[in-house]
Amino acid sequence: MTGFDALLLLSFGGPEGPEQVMPFLENVTRGRGIPRERLESVAEHYLHFGGVSPINGINRDLIAAIEAELAHRGTELPVYFGNRNWEPYIEDTVAAMRDNGIRRAAVFSTSAWGGYSGCTQYQEDIARGRAAAGPDAPELVKLRQYFDHPLLVEMFADAIREAAATLPEELRDHARLVFTAHSIPLRAASRCGPDLYERQVGYTAGLVAAAAGYREYDQVWQSRSGPPQVPWLEPDVGDHLDVLAGNGTRAVIVCPVGFVADHIEVVWDLDSELAEQAAEAGIAFARATTPNAQPRFAQLAVDLLDEVRHGRAPLRVSGSEPVPGYGSSVNGALCTPSCGV
């Protein structure tokens, strides 16, 4: 058995009031040269919801669910919460862990993916938090990527079926299934793997579609940012919806498979902007839910912990064309600082 004396949930962070929106966005975009006007435009998305991102509340609920799952399995382990871009900051959380006598903790991140943004950047967060806490900082071990965990596949497949049931009955059997994930610059995509993130998302989409009973589906991208001259992963979900409308599609089910929780990119970009675009095109629209704080997501987190603590074989769904040869992306190994480089 490999011992831990705590679990840290590491996430992106989000504002929890109107006065926090701009400071949060400045944290997210620091060093990227994003014009103030662009930040003010994005801020309006948050202000539409009272300046509150859903992500922190969801993560607190997820922590409660993880604590319940740990107790159900007979494990007493404190669960801490740290963020990259907003309170509670990872630096403050690691310092609190140090002060509480934590020596070694597992880290579960709210990203299922490899690549820089999905994995390596969280490793950088861990290193920054430990450096700030000083020589007595606890050891922090990031658990593996979980894009092919059976519970993740199951949750999204169930969500698709539930979304389909909300469509008019006469359209359900003909609805087009569309998977979305956050776009990234092509340069970043090619550097990691190469194309590790893109391949993992496509792999998971195929697993979920099969589990939900769909042979045909589309994989697209959303929420790109940055200068328009910089190429990002395409097609964009909005552009793709225009194509579907031109082809006579009457109903779509959108599954944000790239997100494990309702970020603002889900509740604004999809539930507001894309849903409005679909309505204007005369397309019935349904959006599959993300795992959020479901008990099954908590079970998944504790499964990853137990794989390490008890030396258990990783739980994985094997597709017909597995993502080839990317170390921790397929063999259940712990993430290493170089796994997304």
DSSP string, 213-247: T-S--EEEEE---S-TTS-BSS-BHHHHHHHHHHT
Shared domain for 15 and 130, answered yes or no, is yes
Tell me, yes or no, whether 17 lies in a domain.
yes
Q: Say if residue 67 carries a ligand binding annotation.
A: no
Shared domain for 307 and 335, answered yes or no, is yes
Tell me, yes or no, whether 1 lies in a domain.
no
CA separation for the pair 277, 231 (Å, rounded): 23
Tell me, yes or no, whether 326 lies in a domain.
yes
Shared domain for 10 and 141, answered yes or no, is yes
- pTM (2 decimals)? 0.94
Shared domain for 166 and 76, answered yes or no, is no
CATH of the domain at 154: 3.40.50.1400
pLDDT by residue, tens only, the chain of 341 residues: 579 999 999 999 999 999 999 999 999 999 887 889 989 999 999 999 999 999 999 999 999 999 999 999 999 999 999 999 999 999 999 999 999 999 999 999 999 998 889 998 999 999 999 999 999 999 999 999 999 999 999 999 999 999 999 999 999 999 999 999 999 999 999 888 788 899 999 999 999 999 999 999 999 999 998 788 899 999 999 999 999 999 999 999 999 999 999 999 999 999 999 999 999 999 999 999 999 999 999 999 999 999 999 999 889 898 776 664 344 433 345 666 555 55
Q: Say if residue 53 carries a ligand binding annotation.
A: yes
- In eight-state DSSP terms, residue 115 is S
Host domain of residue 196: 150-287
Sheet holding 6-11, edge to edge: 79-83, 6-11, 104-109, 139-142
Shared domain for 20 and 71, answered yes or no, is yes
Shared domain for 162 and 276, answered yes or no, is yes
The count of structural domains within the chain is: 2
Torsion of CA 229, 234, 239, 240, to 10 degrees: 170
Q: How confident is the model at residue 28, as a pLDDT?
A: 94
Two tokens at 183? 């776009």
Shared domain for 277 and 181, answered yes or no, is yes
Q: How confident is the model at residue 339, as a pLDDT?
A: 55
State the residue for tokens 């792999």: 203
Q: How confident is the model at residue 335, as a pLDDT?
A: 64
Q: Say if residue 116 carries a ligand binding annotation.
A: no
Shared domain for 132 and 230, answered yes or no, is no
Q: Say if residue 174 carries a ligand binding annotation.
A: no
Shared domain for 134 and 231, answered yes or no, is no
Q: How confident is the model at residue 31, as a pLDDT?
A: 85
Shared domain for 326 and 223, answered yes or no, is no
Q: How confident is the model at residue 39, as a pLDDT?
A: 94
Shared domain for 42 and 155, answered yes or no, is no
Of 247, 266, 287, which closes a domain?
287
C-alpha distances in Å from residue 92, one per residue of 17, 82, 110, 134, 184: 20, 8, 19, 12, 29
Give the CA angle between residues 63, 58, 291 to the nearest 5°.
90
